[in-house]
Copies of this chain bind each other. A is one copy, B any other.
Amino acid sequence: MRPSGRAPDEMRTISIEPNFTRHAEGSVLIGFGDTRVLVTASIEERIPPWLRGKGEGWVTAEYGMLPRATHTRSQREAAKGKQSGRTQEIQRLIGRSLRAVTDLKLLGERQITLDCDVIQADGGTRTAAISGAWVALRIATNKLLEAGQLEKDPILTQVAAVSCGIYQGNPVLDLDYDEDSAADADANFVLLADGKIAEAQATAEGATYDEEGLLRLLRLARIGCNQIFAAQLKAL
């Protein structure tokens, strides 16, 4: 029995509120249950130094958590003077995931930065961030297309992410905080709408797992991502 009473393959409510803020080229407030992440997409007509002269663009991400997004207050990273290893690992994952569905040649010599800020955390912040970032990126890219700044759409397909885990011996979909902090294994899958996998990460926490376990988690992730793909399209 899951703490929330959900079925093993049951997602939490997915909410996607596009255009949550007004300055960014794209913005969205995405919710997986009580987890809420604000994602903005910022277009800049400049690229990182190491890309200059290659005729390509770049998609990157930054991630942050408001100090009291969590049950107890954590110290502000800006005040500590550095980003934690966890933060850096997550923002690298978000960036890679979005680049997996972007043709950087078609994007041209510009950079899109996806800022993912967790307003409220209840497990799954990185997967909500990736799923919301696609919507923000889609909105921002649409503006470039409408303005004639892009001729061809650089977004190849949809991308979404969800966490799964083995909780009290059972594979379950979309872990909330109570499950996440007690899971035997914890996985994040980044999937494409065409069925392909962009990233699979499965970590033993309390107990190791086997090949069959890995496959069952992947299949749960497909169920979840299909629902997210639908919610993404509906929000646009």
Contact = CB atoms under 8 A, between A and B. Distances in A.
A234 interface: no
B22 A73 contact: no
A64 B76 contact: yes
A141 interface: no
Copies in the complex: 6
A170 B84 CA distance: 36
A42 B117 CA distance: 19
Interface string A94-131: 00100010000000000001010101110000000000
Nearest to A34: B22
A202 B218 CA distance: 12
A192 B208 contact: yes
Interface residues of A, number: 64
A48 to B, nearest CB: 14
A93 to B, nearest CB: 9
B83 A208 contact: no
Given A40-B66, A89-B85, A120 B23 contact: yes
Contacts of A204: 96, 100, 196-199
A211 interface: yes
B79 A81 contact: no
The 9 A-B residue pairs whose C-beta atoms are closest, nearest first, are A85-B88, A196-B208, A77-B78, A40-B68, A42-B73, A78-B78, A24-B68, A89-B89, A200-B202
Interface of A: 21-24, 27, 34, 36, 38, 40, 42, 44, 62, 64, 66-73, 76-89, 91-92, 96, 100, 113, 115, 117, 119-121, 192, 195-204, 208-211, 213-215, 218
Given A73-B115, A195-B210, 4 more contacts: A64-B76, A77-B78, A85-B91, A89-B92
14 contacts: A22-B34, A22-B120, A62-B76, A64-B76, A66-B115, A73-B115, A81-B81, A85-B92, A196-B209, A197-B202, A197-B204, A200-B200, A200-B214, A201-B202
